[in-house]
Structure 1
Amino acid sequence: MASPKPRFRGEDAVRDLDAVLRTMKREGCHLLVTGEVDARVADRATRRLFGDPNYDRKRVLAAPDSSTHVDRYLPVDVSPTDPAVWVVDPTGRERSIPPSAEDRTLPDADGDGSDLDRLRQELVQAVTFYADAGDGLAPAELQVGVASADALLERDDRHAVEQFLRTLGALVRGVDGMGHVRVALPDDHPTVASLSPLFDARIELRRRDGLVPEQRWHVPDRDVTTAWTQL
């Protein structure tokens, strides 16, 4: 028996996606961002996923490739040194943490374990810090983003990367936060297919010649793929 075709466009798909987004914001979610686009488009998507700078958000940015400038991933007027921003970097070169978290024991770049282990340890520290501060976290108040998982997929064991992403998803959902991970691969790439079950939805990016960047959402559990819309 043939599997049902995913639904595109139309009011039903829009209503389904709206309902999914409301649930994600209320209960937490983990999103995979795909598509072969230039860095400017990918960075724009990451900034948008980190939320409106005018709202009270706690932002945790993981930058596995510390050769890049982390401020390119944050919304306008949000600085890596803001007290509500924690930049996670297993090498320690781009790390930036809130002043009130300076007593935390963070992974040492020269310590035991792999970069992936240290990345996981510091992400746990960052999320726990914000969850324990004040009155805790409201739904969608915590935004966690891995700017690019490409280096992890290239240099680390695939099973280890998948376990890291599974742990990250559980961590973010556990505090009703919203997380996203970027991979610079086509949405129909076999690697995306293997990673997709670890996420609640995928956001596919594209930019056609002479046109504005676009996105569409895939929600496998709801069998929904939206139409392309402006990013």
Structure 2
Amino acid sequence: MKRNRAGAKRVGAAGAGARGPGPSLQEALAVLGEGCSLLVTGDVPTDAHRVAAARYFGNPSNERRRVLGLTHDTPRPDAWLPGAVNGEDDHAEIVCMDDALRDPAAVDESPAGDGGFSPGVDDSFRRRFLEAIVDVGDEEGPDGMALRVGLFRVDGLRAALGAEDAGRLLRDAATTTRERGGMAHFHLPRRPAEEGDPRSDSTVDAVATQLGEQLDVVVELRLRDRAVVPEERWHIDGWGSTDWHPLG
């Protein structure tokens, strides 16, 4: 069921922190608890996104159903899942994209650069990722945000599939997750052009626009000097922006 967002601010837009007589944060979070999608961005290294992803996949002591999509090679895919949870668990699945390989000659020195992805083709990734969401999401288990779906990283998906096909896949994944009352978090490391406005980056804005009504929150990540853990700030559709909080 689509929610009425008439008059709502653009998710993650500048000025979103100015809040009027709208819903309280508790009420806004309660709506998200019915099913939601997050676009996670910020000028931070991969490890910060890994910490955030493990957090959004939920406490390992809670019964969850988890699907992780990876568009790049990584020596430890299970590190994106919380605690001792791994891809061999009955209620977890990791879907990796074939042929979306990192090109060392194209690596951007910026933590939030394009990641040096070479264009690749994996015609099966869309099918495998969406099927995993359906298969894992339809397993018997607790209701209420029990399904968690994550994808790292969106720019790798766009490099491999093209912007339009990648956007279509993200929308379908978000819709499929929401229909099952779950949370989807899509990671797109980028540096905002304007402080406090993650959508000031053209790629973040393009992906957010493609997600449309399926996007509920743009999450900013940052890692301050000498900080032990990254911090997050949520820009919630129809509500505004939270303060910065550690992902610990």
Shorter-chain-normalised TM-score: which range?
Answer: 0.7 to 0.9
Match of 1:189 in 2: 201
Match of 2:17 in 1: 7
Match of 2:112 in 1: none
RMSD value over aligned CA atoms? 2.6
Q: How many Å apart are 1:8 and its aligned residue?
A: 5.2
**Number of equivalenced pairs:** 203
Match of 1:125 in 2: 131
CA deviations over 1:175-206 (Å, ceiling 9, x no partner): 11111010111223111112224121111000
Kept in 2, the 8 Å contact 1:143–1:179? The answer is: yes
The alignment status of 1:218 with 2:224, answered yes or no, reads no
Task: Provide the C-alpha distance between the structure 1 equivalents of 2:156 and 2:145, rounded to a whole number of angstroms.
Answer: 28
Task: Provide the C-alpha distance between the structure 2 equivalents of 1:213 and 1:140, rounded to a whole number of angstroms.
Answer: 24
- What pairs up with 1:143-222 in 2 under 5 angstroms? 143-186=148-191, 187=198, 188-197=200-209, 198=211, 199-211=215-227, 212-219=229-236, 221-222=237-238
Task: Provide the C-alpha distance between the structure 1 equivalents of 2:77 and 2:62, rounded to a whole number of angstroms.
Answer: 20
- Structure 2: which 5+ residue stretches go unaligned? 1-8, 100-119, 192-197
Q: How many Å apart are 1:216 and its aligned residue?
A: 0.3
Q: How many Å apart are 1:38 and its aligned residue?
A: 1.5
TM-score w.r.t. length of structure 2: 0.73
- What pairs up with 1:100-111 in 2 under 5 angstroms? none
Q: Give the % identical residues.
A: 32
Q: How has the CA–CA distance of structure 1 residues 159 and 123 changed in structure 2, closer, same or farther, with 3 Å as cutoff?
A: same
CA deviations over 1:110-156 (Å, ceiling 9, x no partner): xxx942x422211222122234433x661211111002222122333
Q: How has the CA–CA distance of structure 1 residues 159 and 214 changed in structure 2, closer, same or farther, with 3 Å as cutoff?
A: same
| Bigger fraction of residues in helix | 1
Match of 1:99 in 2: none
Q: How has the CA–CA distance of structure 1 residues 138 and 193 changed in structure 2, closer, same or farther, with 3 Å as cutoff?
A: same
TM-score w.r.t. length of structure 1: 0.78
Match of 2:64 in 1: 57
The alignment status of 1:141 with 2:146, answered yes or no, reads yes
Task: Provide the C-alpha distance between the structure 1 equivalents of 2:32 and 2:138, rounded to a whole number of angstroms.
Answer: 22
Task: Provide the C-alpha distance between the structure 2 equivalents of 1:6 and 1:31, rounded to a whole number of angstroms.
Answer: 16
Q: How many Å apart are 1:17 and its aligned residue?
A: 3.0
